[in-house]
Chains A and B, each alone.
Chain A
Amino acid sequence: MASETLVHSADPVDQHLVTVLQGKFEVAPEDIRPAATLEDLGLDSLAAVELYVTLQEQWQVPLDDSEANIGLTVQQVRDTVHRLRADSAGQGGTA
């Protein structure tokens, strides 16, 4: 794989994703690359939903776990979290 692992990313969403995948789901850090699917990381269908529930809780964003599936890439998951965070920040308004 040409893509870099997310392990050294400074982005807080990336960092949290790495922490959850490495800690709770016991994924080897070198495997956590943007192009990897959740299935590549050893998650099954229930684990994919569990990942979404865990991220929902952490970021307080309305991540729709009915869309969680093992074909999603790490890139897609982080993009979705980023988008929802931006949306909720926008809704909350900045003074």
Chain B
Amino acid sequence: MAATPPPAVAVTVAVTGVGLVTPSGTGTASTWEGVCAGRSTAADAPELAGLPVPIACRVPDFDPHTHARLRQPWRFDRATQLLLAAAREALDSAGLNSAGHAGADGDNGAWQPERTALVIGSAAGGIGTLEDQHRRLLATGPDRISPHTLPAYLPNMAAGHAALELGVKGPALHTSTACASGASAVITAGLLLAAGHCDIALAGGSDAMVTPLCSAAFAKMGALSRRTHDPVRASRPFDRDRDGFVLAEGSAVLVLEREADARARQARPLALLTGHATTTDAHHPVAPDPDGTGLERAVRAALAQAGAAPDEVDHINAHGTSTPLNDRVEAAVIRRLYGRQPPSVTSAKGVLGHTMGAAGAVEAALTVLSVAHGAVPPTANFTAFDDGTDGIDLVTDKPRHQDIHLALSHSLGFGGHNTVLAFRAA
């Protein structure tokens, strides 16, 4: 490759907490159990009835009062509700007060609000709210639209609302790189920590795009699986019969701290973020470069920053959307980079569907859990490779127990975005 690799990262960032709200359930335990069971969450979606693709993966039985601890939850888009639940779980799991910086327990788990950052990615902000209110505008006129329309919709407001609810007073930022947004949030948080702009960063993603407009628009692009008669088998990453992704919703938040700070407060890191990179294809508005050179550059740059060679990679949590082109490109890059000793590969999207801007954070969290637990969840619905996806070591059928010293998470997004996160065992 022509590009000069960047220097090794000066600051190692520890992941000390994780929160997950996905179609497998609210909470990290239910999500991990669901992906390890390989149980697809896709189902008929009544809210999409009458549309070309009326299936989706929804977060089941979500209660914003109890799970997100929100008052008047109608003030928030569902993406923000999901985010607050994930953020509070992440803080709890990091041993930090999830009720706020001082919390109910005084100094136990206290954190400094001015030294804490929040970086949240989403592809579409509160688009469900925007669609609802636009329908009201057309149906009943301007008098009946909610004054909360813009505070709920604006893409930055998931971070803004979460900062208010949690009492975060450092940087609160939104990242948007389509389906890589959550991974871009993790990268941005890592940069803020490395530059000393904060001591703790909550980094994640959240999207709730199971809406009529989003579903119809993705269908028009040909991006969605048309296996509507058999939704549980619709999302099948790397399988020869894959025909598109299944629209999903969810959120994930990771608590990041400089490793030295984490160890100083006796927090136990789940994994270490030791490298990351972003590249852009500049090839097509939405299709990945078929040669995968942009993704390959991102992998090489992330590995260079982590101070590792390709043959040290034990595991890859792939973007693996179940679209014909994405999975072919990703498999080609993996074959090219790793040759005879390929790392294990999985895609969570067979179980969870595509959670859009949350996906990069959801999969970063799952990669961290794989490193921490020494286990790789299977790729659901896989039966056989085609010529494009063959030659990778895909984990299928059941979880694989594996010592993982170094794992990568790939995320790609419309716009030609490629992001790679490198996690080492702590």
**Which of A50-58, A69-77, A82-90 contacts its partner?**
A50-58
Asked if A24 and B74 sit within 8 Å, CB to CB, the answer is: yes
Partner of B144, one of A25, A26, A47, A56: A56
Q: Is B147 positioned at the interface, with any CB of A under 8 Å from its CB?
A: yes
Q: Which residue of B lies closest to A62 (CB)?
A: B143
Complex alpha-carbon distance, A6 and B145, angstroms? 28
Complex alpha-carbon distance, A25 and B220, angstroms? 39
Determine the chain B residues whose CB is within 8 A of the CB of A65 once the complex forms: 143, 147
- With A24-B74, A26-B71, A26-B72 known as contacts, the answer to whether A50 contacts B148 (CB < 8 A) is yes
Determine the chain A residues whose CB is within 8 A of the CB of B72 once the complex forms: 24-26, 47
- Chain A, interface size category, equals 10 to 19
Closest Cβ of chain B to A49, distance in Å, is: 4
Q: Is A1 positioned at the interface, with any CB of B under 8 Å from its CB?
A: no
Complex alpha-carbon distance, A33 and B144, angstroms? 27
Asked if B147 and A53 sit within 8 Å, CB to CB, the answer is: yes
Contact with A along B130-156 (1 / 0, CB 8 A): 000000000000011111100100000
Interface residues of B in 69-111 (CB under 8 A from A): 71-72, 74-75
Q: Which residue of B lies closest to A56 (CB)?
A: B143
Complex alpha-carbon distance, A24 and B71, angstroms? 10
Determine the chain A residues whose CB is within 8 A of the CB of B151 once the complex forms: 46
Partner of A57, one of B75, B144, B147, B148: B144
Closest Cβ of chain A to B63, distance in Å, is: 14
Of listed B71, B72, B74, B75, residue having the most chain A CB within 10 A: B72
Of listed B74, B143, B146, B147, residue having the most chain A CB within 10 A: B147
Other than the given A53-B143, A56-B143, 12 more pairs (CB < 8 A) read: A24-B72, A25-B72, A46-B75, A46-B147, A46-B151, A47-B75, A50-B146, A50-B147, A50-B148, A53-B146, A56-B144, A65-B147
